Structures are given as C-alpha cells and as structure tokens.
Amino acid sequence: MGDFSKYTKREDKSFLTQTKNHRAFTLMQLLIVVGIIAVVSGIAVVPIQSALTKAKLDKVEIEIEMLGRAVEQIEEDPDNFCFVVLLPPLRSPNSNCDTV
C-alpha cells in the first residue's frame, strides 16, 4: 500500500504542515475575491431596485383602474351596489377593556 508512517509520528508539526503540496490562499487573493463579489453585487442592485420600483408603480396603476371600474359600475346602476367599509373597532384611548 503506502507509507503512512510519517503521519503516525508524534512531532511538533501538524498534519497540514507535514505535507509539502499543501497550499493556502493568500490574503491578497481573498481580498480580490471579496472585491469582485462586492462589485458584482453593486452592479446587480441597480436593476433589482428599478424592477421593484416598476412593480410598485404597476400595482398602483392596477388599483387605480379597479377604482375606475367600480365608479363606472356605480354610475351605470346606482341602486345596485353596496359599500364595504373596513374600519378598526372604535375605542377611546382611555378605555379599560376589563371594566363594563
């Protein structure tokens, strides 16, 4: 098989430093990778932000169209519609719910 005797010896060196082919990334290489990731993510933020803004504007436009259709229906037949108004429960700011 192979000679594993160099890995079983107890020496001050760790397992990783005993192998001669072991290579690690330098600090400069890691900084370059982090910089590239930052630039790419910075470039990607602009289209994402504009897409979100467009989606919000489209939602407002759709809601305005829905309100316009509702007004048209009310104008066509004003006796055949109902309003649904959702309001929060009315409570005075100083009321205590435990007392009757």
pLDDT tens for each residue of 26-37: 999 999 999 999
pLDDT tens for residues 52-94?
999 999 999 999 999 999 888 888 887 776 666 666 666 666 6
For residue 5, tell me if it sits in a domain.
Answer: no
Taking residue 24's Cβ as centre, other Cβ atoms within 10 Å add up to 8
pLDDT in the model for residue 7: 59
Residue 92 — left, alpha, or beta (φ > 0 → left; ψ -120 to 50 → alpha)?
beta
Assign 55 to helix, strand or coil: helix
pLDDT in the model for residue 100: 46
Residues 6+ apart with CB under 8 A from 1: none
The one-letter amino acid code at 61 reads E
CB–CB of 16/22 below 8 Å? yes
Name the residue among 84, 89, 57 with its Cα closest to residue 70.
84
Taking the CA of residue 87 as centre, how many other CA atoms within 13 Å lie in the half-sphere pointing to its CB? 5
pLDDT in the model for residue 90: 66
Number of domains in the chain: 1
For residue 8, tell me if it sits in a domain.
Answer: no
Which structural domain range is residue 69 located in?
38-76
For residue 65, tell me if it sits in a domain.
Answer: yes
pLDDT band at 8 (very low <50, low <70, confident <90, very high): low
